[in-house]
Structure 1
Amino acid sequence: MTTPAATSPSFTDAAERALQGDPVMIREVLSVIGAFSVRLLTAFLILAITLWAAKRLANVARRAIQRVPHHHHPGDTTLSDFVSGVVRYVVIAVGLIAVLQQIGIQATSVLAVLGAASLAIGLALQGALSNVAAGVMILMLKPYRVGDRVEINGRSGKVTDLDLFNTTVVDYDGLTLFFPNGKIFGELIVNVDQSDRRRVDITFGVDYDDNLDVALTLLLSCAKADARIFETPAPWARVTGLADSAVNVTLRCWTTPGDWQDAKCDLIKVVKERFEAEGLSFPYPHQVTVERDPLSRTPALQGSAEIS
């Protein structure tokens, strides 16, 4: 009894017999070549359709992200580019698996190798991947954008660049700060420019003998005279505390975030000059000098006080 292996000639034997003019082997070889050619042509067709579909779907995903009003920002295409890239490579990966299956290569072993490699790469780059995940969330939620003034991890400055890995901030000293997105997301983020107004708080100390009503009237007058200060909400001035050597009066008013620093500094200067012009004084802290009598254990107080 012969085995199937003995009765079934190898492809090499079939090719040799076909070259020798065996008509049966010639038909078998041509049949195999024809079948493989059809499968190869189908694989090329699948590959062409995959590349076309990947490009088309990537463009659709990009336009879809850009149409969302909450995410859209002129010139900010980082998120849309990332999403379109993910869609493109996912479609290409699925198409390549279909191509491998078509030409007779078992894709399960390839997927196993790719899975193991992906796991190893993921473990090695878990810090970078966490930055990417945080970058995607920042791009979606938009706690800040390029051009905003922010305070991140105790450092203040202006955002000059934002990508999937890092946020670049130039602080007010001209230093360039690179924050990994993984260190930012989940922490406190202060966005100075996201609101259309910011409150100015200024506290002054006036002498206990001064007229507090005059001081409060001068504070409101100085705020209303500044064109950068909003009329609504109206400026607010009240007595806010009794200190050791002065009565604290506070002015609160609103301006734009861009004018906040200049308006605050100018108001301090103007209020000081108006207070002095109206005879209001700013008390200085006083320190009494105590000298010990060398012949007595009781300390003697000097009659005059010294200003520290």
Structure 2
Amino acid sequence: MQTDTDIAALTIPETIFLWFQANLMNILGAFAVLVIGLLLAGFISASVSRALLKSERFDQTVARFLSNVVKYALWIVVLVTVLTQFGVETTSILAALSGVALAIGLALQGTLSNVASGVMILIQKPFKVGEAITVSGLTATVQNIGLFTTELKQFDGLFVMIPNSELWNQPIINYHRHPVRRFELIVGIAYGDSMEKAREQLLALAAEDERVLDEPAPLAFVASLDDSSVGIGLRVWCATGDYLALSWALTEAAKARFDAVGLSIPFPQRDVNLAGLQGAGLQGPVQLGAQAGKGAPASSE
């Protein structure tokens, strides 16, 4: 048995050899735990990734993120187990790691909030790439959904990047989530024109356009009684992809059809009583008008 004096007289290589000799079983056990633990962590994380990718609720980005979280968590467990093989007190190490994690979390609070919101967006899927949405007064098409930010493209071609936390905390209107949507057109006619005739003409326009769905059936109705006109409404349903083109076509066709059948779309008018002019021989209301464009009466105030 070597005494302390004999150990002190050993060289550094001899000391290392003696340490390895005394801790050979612990070293072998730690190595085995390390190899098996890393292989097991890789297998479990890959299995989690495959399981998440099979589910339609999880995006590929979320699947990779969650599988990496599982893998890194298992790596920490393996590291702590290896240190335990050498008799290292892991309680203080875990406490230190917890303190570091808390400090990093506080420093990256906004970033972590964006990550959490990004994960929820990718899981809940309130919108997908290629869909048009409105959020916080901004209407644009989704280009890319990341863990930190979402990239949008406005209809005028401008690029917009929004932090995910701002998207997740706001009401979102998705224009493409449902396969069909309703279009409503309101056209004003003169009070002297036939409301029934106007409704018939609007329904005829809807029947002539093959993009208008039969169910729900088109509906024409009196929408409002305005100051200068009677608002005749038309409600039709169409495929979401046809909405914009159909709205343009029906609006233009309604104006042309009303002109063809003698239904007028009046300009706003106001009757002004000039009380001070009654003594000069003017009686009753006087209609004031101005030319707006070529031969068209404009609004009078």
TM-score range, shorter chain: 0.7 to 0.9
1:187: Cα distance to partner?
1.8
Mean CA deviation greater in 36-45 or 77-86? 36-45
1:140–1:304 Cα change, 3 Å = closer
Indicate if the aligned counterparts of 2:272 and 2:286 stay in contact, CA closer than 8 A. Answer: no
Q: 2:45 maps to which residue?
A: 58
| Alignment deviations for residues 12-36 of structure 1 (CA, whole Å, 9 cap, x no partner) | x3335678xxxxxx9x998753231
Larger radius of gyration: 1
- The answer to whether structure 1 residue 69 and structure 2 residue 56 are counterparts is yes
Question: Which segments of structure 1 move beyond 6 Å, counting only runs of 4 or more?
Answer: 28-31, 289-294, 296-302
| Alignment deviations for residues 117-137 of structure 1 (CA, whole Å, 9 cap, x no partner) | 111111111111111111111
- The answer to whether structure 1 residue 228 and structure 2 residue 215 are counterparts is no
| Alignment deviations for residues 243-272 of structure 1 (CA, whole Å, 9 cap, x no partner) | 111111100011122211111011000011
Give the paired residue count. 288
Indicate if the aligned counterparts of 1:292 and 1:298 stay in contact, CA closer than 8 A. Answer: no
Indicate if the aligned counterparts of 1:293 and 1:300 stay in contact, CA closer than 8 A. Answer: no
Indicate if the aligned counterparts of 2:270 and 2:287 stay in contact, CA closer than 8 A. Answer: no
Q: 1:46 maps to which residue?
A: 33
1:37–1:237 Cα change, 3 Å = same
1:29–1:273 Cα change, 3 Å = closer
Q: 2:73 aligns with which of 69, 83, 90?
A: 90
Indicate if the aligned counterparts of 1:62 and 1:81 stay in contact, CA closer than 8 A. Answer: yes
Q: 2:294 maps to which residue?
A: none
Q: TM-score by structure 1 length?
A: 0.85
Runs of 5+ unmatched residues, structure 1: 1-7, 20-25
- The answer to whether structure 1 residue 180 and structure 2 residue 163 are counterparts is yes
Indicate if the aligned counterparts of 2:274 and 2:286 stay in contact, CA closer than 8 A. Answer: no
Identical pairs, percent: 34
Partners of 1:212 and 1:276 in 2: how far apart?
15
Question: Please, what is the CA RMSD of the aligned residues?
Answer: 2.7
Correspondences of 1:1-308 after superposition (within 5 Å): 9-10=3-4, 13-15=5-7, 33-71=20-58, 76-288=59-271, 303=286, 305-306=288-289, 307-308=298-299
Q: TM-score by structure 2 length?
A: 0.87
Runs of 5+ unmatched residues, structure 2: 290-297
1:146: Cα distance to partner?
1.2
Partners of 1:182 and 1:18 in 2: how far apart?
62
